[in-house]
Structure 1
Amino acid sequence: MEKLLEEFIYHLAVERGLSENTLVSYRADLAKFISFCAKAGLKSVEQAGRDTVMAYLFQLQLDGRSTATISRHLASIRAFYRFAVGEGILPADPSSDLETPKPAQKLPRVLSVEEVDLLMGQPGSGEPAGLRDKAMLELLYATGMRVSELVSLNLEHVNLENGFVRCLGKGSRERIIPVGDVAVRWLKEYLERARYKLSKPGRTDALFVNQHGRRLTRQGFWKIIKKYARKAKIKKVITPHTLRHSFATHLLENGADLRSVQEMLGHADISTTQIYTHLTRNRLRDVYNRTHPRA
Structure 2
Amino acid sequence: MPLKYHEKLDKDNTLRLRSMQRELPAFCQTFFRGIEPRTQSRTRIAYAYDLKVFFRFLLEEVPYFRKYSAVTEILLGDLEQIEVLDLENYMEYLKYRTRKKILDGKEIQEDVLNQPKSIKRKISSLKSFYNYLYRDQLVRKNPAALLSLPKLREQDIVRLDGNEVADFLDEVENGTKLTMQQQKFHEKTALRDSAMMNLMLGTGIRVSECVGLNIQDVDFNNDGIRIHRKGGKEVTVYFSDEVEQILLAYMEERRHKAASSGSEDALFLSLQNKRMNVRTVEKMVKKYASLVTPLKHITPHKLRSTYGTNLYRETGDIYLVADVLGHSDVNTTKKHYAALEDERRRSARNKVHLRED
TM-score normalised to structure 2 length: 0.51
Match of residue 172 from structure 2: 123
Larger radius of gyration: 1
Give the deviation of 1:138 after TM superposition: 0.4
Listed one character per residue, the Cα deviations across residues 71-120 of structure 1 (whole Å, up to 9, x for unaligned) are x9xxxxxxxxxxxxxxxxxxxxxxx9998785444343111111111111
Give the deviation of 1:264 after TM superposition: 0.8
Listed one character per residue, the Cα deviations across residues 126-171 of structure 1 (whole Å, up to 9, x for unaligned) are 8341000000000001110010000000011111221111100100
Give the deviation of 1:273 after TM superposition: 1.1
SS of alignment partner, residue 275 of structure 1: helix
Distance 2:207 2:165 in 1: 17
AA in 2 matched with 1:118: D
Give the deviation of 1:179 after TM superposition: 0.3
Match of residue 244 from structure 1: 304
- 1:159 to 2:208 alignment: no
Match of residue 93 from structure 1: none
Cα RMSD for the two superposed structures: 3.8
List gaps (5 residues or longer) in structure 1: 1-11, 26-65, 73-95, 289-295
Distance 1:134 1:128 in 2: 12
Distance 1:197 1:265 in 2: 32
Match of residue 155 from structure 2: 106
Give the deviation of 1:189 after TM superposition: 0.7
Going from structure 1 to structure 2, the CA distance change for 1:13 and 1:110 (only over 3 Å counts) comes to: same
Given that 1:199 and 1:212 are in contact with CA atoms closer than 8 Å, whether structure 2 keeps it comes out as no
SS of alignment partner, residue 254 of structure 1: helix
Match of residue 61 from structure 1: none
Going from structure 1 to structure 2, the CA distance change for 1:285 and 1:201 (only over 3 Å counts) comes to: same
Match of residue 188 from structure 1: 248
Given that 2:259 and 2:274 are in contact with CA atoms closer than 8 Å, whether structure 1 keeps it comes out as no
Distance 2:339 2:286 in 1: 23
AA in 2 matched with 1:150: C
Distance 2:332 2:82 in 1: 39
SS of alignment partner, residue 160 of structure 2: coil
Number of matched pairs: 210
Distance 2:247 2:281 in 1: 16
AA in 2 matched with 1:173: K
Going from structure 1 to structure 2, the CA distance change for 1:287 and 1:199 (only over 3 Å counts) comes to: farther
- 1:273 to 2:333 alignment: yes
SS of alignment partner, residue 167 of structure 1: strand
AA in 2 matched with 1:245: S
Distance 2:211 2:146 in 1: 47
Given that 1:175 and 1:266 are in contact with CA atoms closer than 8 Å, whether structure 2 keeps it comes out as no
Give the deviation of 1:281 after TM superposition: 4.0
Distance 2:217 2:306 in 1: 23
Larger RCO (CA within 8 A; separation ≥ 6): 1
Map 1:40-189 onto structure 2 (within 5 A): 103-124=152-173, 127-189=187-249
Going from structure 1 to structure 2, the CA distance change for 1:195 and 1:268 (only over 3 Å counts) comes to: same
Going from structure 1 to structure 2, the CA distance change for 1:98 and 1:165 (only over 3 Å counts) comes to: closer
SS of alignment partner, residue 225 of structure 2: strand
Give the deviation of 1:263 after TM superposition: 1.2
Distance 2:193 2:282 in 1: 11
Given that 1:198 and 1:210 are in contact with CA atoms closer than 8 Å, whether structure 2 keeps it comes out as no
